[in-house]
Amino acid sequence: MHEMSLAEGVLQLIEDAARQQNFARVKTVWLEIGQLSGVEVEAMKFCFDAVTRDSIAQGSQLEIIALPGTGWCMACAKSVPMAEVFGECPHCGGFQMQVTGGTEMRLKELEVE
């Protein structure tokens, strides 16, 4: 389950920000997660709750902002939505797709005290 290591990485970012910005508690965490990132949202929520116990982020609310998958079809030269990495172009049915968005996971914002 790679979500556990991702959640640990998010907690490390939070703790680094707390040291730099001098806050004592995190109330809400907003994560952007791309549809093509391979991150299972429910597993991420579970792992986040587990790794934040006894930390500055214990009890914080995890808000997920879903980012759509997008790609460029080399056959028809169009930017198109993508639901899966190796999917076909919804316009021409071709498989010469280059992913252009939706693979990222990013800590967007923190609400702190």
93 Cα distance to chain centroid: 28
pLDDT at 1: 55
Tokens of 76: 């028809």
Which tens digit of pLDDT belongs to each residue from 91-106? 999 999 999 999 999 9
Cα–Cα dist 94/75, whole Å: 7
pLDDT at 14: 98
Strand partners, 105: 33
Which tens digit of pLDDT belongs to each residue from 22-78? 999 999 999 999 999 999 999 999 999 999 999 999 999 999 999 999 999 999 999
Q: Domain span at residue 69?
A: 2-112
Which tens digit of pLDDT belongs to each residue from 7-28? 999 999 999 999 999 999 999 9
Please tell me the total count of domains within the chain. Answer: 1
* Residue 79 · residue 46 · CB < 8 Å: no
Across all residues in the chain, what is the average pLDDT? 96
Domain CATH number, residue 25:
3.30.2320.80
